[in-house]
Structure 1
Amino acid sequence: MDLSCFKAYDLRGRVPDQLNPILAEKIGRAYVEITGAKKVIVGYDIRLSSPEIADALSSGLMAAGADVFDIGLCGTEQVYFATSHYQMDGGIMVTASHNPKDHNGMKMVGPESRPISSDNGLNDIRDRVLEPFFDAAEQGKYETLEVMSAYVDHLLGYIDAGSLKPMTIVCNAGNGGAGLVIDELEQHLPFDFIKVHHEADGHFPNGVPNPILPENRSATADAVLQNGAAMGIAWDGDYDRCFFFDETGRFIEGYYIVGLLADQFLRKTGGGKVIHDPRLTWNTLDLVEAAGGEAIESKTGHAFIKQRMRDEDAVYGGEMSAHHYFRDFAYCDSGMIPWLLVAERLCQSGQTLSSLIDARIEAYPASGEINRTISDPPKVIAAIEARYGVGAKSVSHVDGLSVEFDNWRFNLRMSNTEPVVRLNVEARGDKALMEAKTEELLEEMKRLNV
């Protein structure tokens, strides 16, 4: 049996050769045997293959003795929400996020929506799939569970509704599932939503919903300009990530959103801890300190960030890849809470999104993440460290290589899944220096890649 759909953090593969109903049924059985779960939330995204795979998964869960609570078509964060809110033993979301439309996958959590990845059960589930199965003495039950109303109430709890003012917002669901939530939230908010690629459609008529790709941004940017909107928001297919455009239609790097949300959240909580990744840090550190919070660095990746947030009881965590995590959301990531907080900030401050962001870009210009294919990543990273580590203010290995000088810094890290090295560079108020150092590092990587 081809088990190549099992990855480090979740399952993803082509349908039907790498993931299909037969395998999904076995995965359901294995999940129960490995975790011991008795009550499991199941949800699925808009992909055409998702209902059939979710049905087979549910059959396997029930055959192994677990009760299934089917929340239907939803986003990944609704599985997270339902699992923790209803105190279930676990949850499984059938989704392949922003993968091609002929792919599908699963994201799994345990009690309190704690992630299940390769280092805490996912590999055991994979290995168990290969063994024979026997039906449980007592089959699990099946019921549907309506979670949208409780979920929407929870989302609205993050903002002060009384401070909101009428405002035009472009929202681009990318024909994923986010539009269904916007339609529900719309009834409670004074905003005028301009809806782009709004209908959920697993054929992906406008391309795979992945706003991080520059070619997928123009529909949102154009709609912002045409409608004089205050901002634009775009989501990936299972809407656990959201991406922002200011009122000029400019795409905003996720790094600057982390700082903005940290600042907004700490204003509400009157302090607290904020978890961030090591790729780009200075803007976040500056804003967190100014708002009376404590910034704590964590290795990149949702499993690491969520665990560190639990360890530190952090109020918020953010990654520049547009994942935003919230303590009161079971320490999980949400693609809906961030834009509500940004909209609230615009209403309360009377500022434009560009004015909030421009000052931060000017203070800490950054390269954004640049990927290069490298034949021997460890060798190249070691050589870069040998050259730049000398005379550096600090050298860190929290995640890859971070080297810091007085007025610029960089992070260089390997991909977990491909021979790619990812570079991020930032400077203090000196865009020309940032650009020069970025070019210098890229040339050095090219020279070493032989």
Structure 2
Amino acid sequence: MEVNTRAFKAYDIRGKVPEELNEELAYLIGQAYVQLFKPRQVVVGYDIRLTSPALAASLIRGLREGGCGVIDLGLSGTEQVYFATFHLGLDGGMMVTASHNPEEYNGMKLVRAGAIPISGDSGLKEIEKLLISGQCKREKSSSGALGSYRKINIMADYVQHLLSYIDPSVLKPIKMVVNAGNGCAGPVLDELESHLPFEFIKIQHQPDGTFPNGIPNPLLPENRLATAEAVRKNKAAVGLAWDGDYDRCFFFDERGNFIEGYYIVGLLATSLLSRQPGAKIIHDPRLTWNTIELVQQAGGVPVQSKTGHAFIKERLRLEDAVYGGEMSAHHYFKDFAYCDSGMIPWLLVLELMSRKNKSLSKLIGERVAAYPVSGEINRRVTDARKVMEQVEKNFSQGAIAIDRTDGLSVEFGNWRFNLRSSNTEPVLRLNVEARGNRELMQLKTEKLLAFIDGVGL
């Protein structure tokens, strides 16, 4: 039987249900995972999507019939699967989720022992090849025995681990709006609430796979309104919102203003370097100046890595860095097996607000003024490579540095930009920043976009 593998992407598995991802394919993925990695025991979790429980059940069946033992977390966030994998010393973990994708999608994120990611160049393509070749047999293990099965609740251990990143004794009774987007974050917030002095104003809190308030993706401006309005209405000190599997956390200040993830990277780097001076901090190439300056001021070593969780995690391990951050709101921690977490960042930021007795807008206000940014702007083009060549030809004269770590980064004395292409579609992504001059940043952004629009069709 021919197997459709269109759902296999660069970093994970993601596609429409049932045409690109279905229970049969989930079963085969479980079988292929066992055949390729020979695990003895793995953990499986799933998000709130209505199709997730059935996909997870088929995945578990494939694993067990391959002879692998399974620990079932049930409804959980992606980072709980990461945590269970390294905390319990398991051979791997598999999360059924499509995060912030539309309702008709689902997917999987896979890790091996130590919560090391399995992406295109570290096993995902091999799983795909096994499926295409037909070498993945629908049969039980050579011994004929099913792998063991155990359903557990790891919430208490996970919450204690989260709390280990902060000193609860310094925390102040901060009022905060928390918007789980009807995703998986709600139950974790409920558990953390009893350990913290914060006042939780909960909106879109209950897990609900029908997405009554839309797909939880706070990167979309229209999805920020509910959090911003709730902050202003309740006179809260901070607003927090998560995507569906809550591996990304988004911040709003006391005025309800959305905070670009770029500035949170610098804030978290400063906080962690105060405890581990001299440590390395990993950052992506899209926006860099604020992060580099803050890391160096705090006595740390900034290290640039290609964008994307697999690249960042690999570089974190290589450098033994204490923290890595991307402007897209992915934050990675050495003590979290170099994985990304959507819970650790806000705990650290609220601890910082408590220690310094400063509002979030005061903590990041100077940095926003010092390094104004465009935010990431997408443009659809017919030939991304040719457009980038034309941009470099027309916008690199007089540059003091050109870098190709990820796409094209061109740096001048008082402004810089990064232009990179999407891995999955004919789209270019532009980021521009300047030194203390918002008008210059806006002018250069407009010029770049007008040029891309002119040559990109």
Q: Which residue of 1 aligns with 2:69?
A: 67
Distance 1:382 1:339 in 2: 40
Q: CA deviation at 1:25?
A: 0.8
Question: Which of 146, 149, 156 does residue 156 from structure 2 map onto?
Answer: 149
Taking the aligned partners of 2:182 and 2:297, their CA distance within structure 1 comes to 39
Q: Does 1:135 align with 2:137?
A: no
One-letter code aligned to 1:282: W
Quote the residue 1:218 is aligned against. 225
Residue of structure 2 equivalent to 1:379: 386
Once the two structures are TM-superposed, the CA of residue 139 in structure 1 deviates from its matched residue by: 2.1
Which residue in 2 is equivalent to 1:193? 200
1:91 aligns with 2:93: yes
Counterpart mapping for 1:18-417 below 5 A: 18-130=20-132, 131=134, 132-133=136-137, 134-136=139-141, 137=143, 138-417=145-424
Q: Partners in 2 of 1:269 and 1:204 — Cα distance?
A: 41
Q: Residue 129 of structure 1: CA displacement?
A: 2.1
In structure 1, the residue matched to 2:18 is: 16
AA aligned opposite 1:283: N
CA distance in 2, matches of 1:250, 1:387: 35
| One-letter code aligned to 1:196 | I
Q: Calculate the aligned-residue CA RMSD, in Å.
A: 0.9
Flag structure 2 segments of 5+ consecutive residues without an equivalent: none
Give the match's secondary structure for 1:411: strand
SS in 2 for 1:268: coil
Q: Which runs of 5+ in 1 are unaligned?
A: none
Give the TM-score of the pair, scaled to structure 2.
0.97
Give 1:3 deviation, angstroms.
1.5
Q: Hey, what's the Cα distance between the residues in 2 that align with 1:165 and 1:365?
A: 30
**Structure 2 Cα separation of the partners of residues 218 and 388 of structure 1:** 36
- Secondary structure of the corresponding residue to residue 95 of structure 2: strand
TM-score (norm 1): 0.99
1:76-97 deviations in Å (ceiling 9; x for gaps): 0000011011111100000000
> AA paired with 2:234?
N
CA distance in 2, matches of 1:18, 1:415: 21
Measure the CA separation in 2 of the matches of 1:77 and 1:5: 22
> Match for 2:110: what amino acid?
M
Aligned residue identity for 1:347: S
> Deviation string for 1:187-244 (max 9, x for gaps)?
1000010000000000000000001101111110011011111100000000000100
Determine helix, strand or coil for the equivalent of 1:13: strand
Q: Percent identity?
A: 60
Q: Secondary structure at the match of 1:188?
A: coil
- 1:224-277 CA-partner distances (Å, limit 9, x unpaired): 011111100000000000100000000011111111111111112223000000
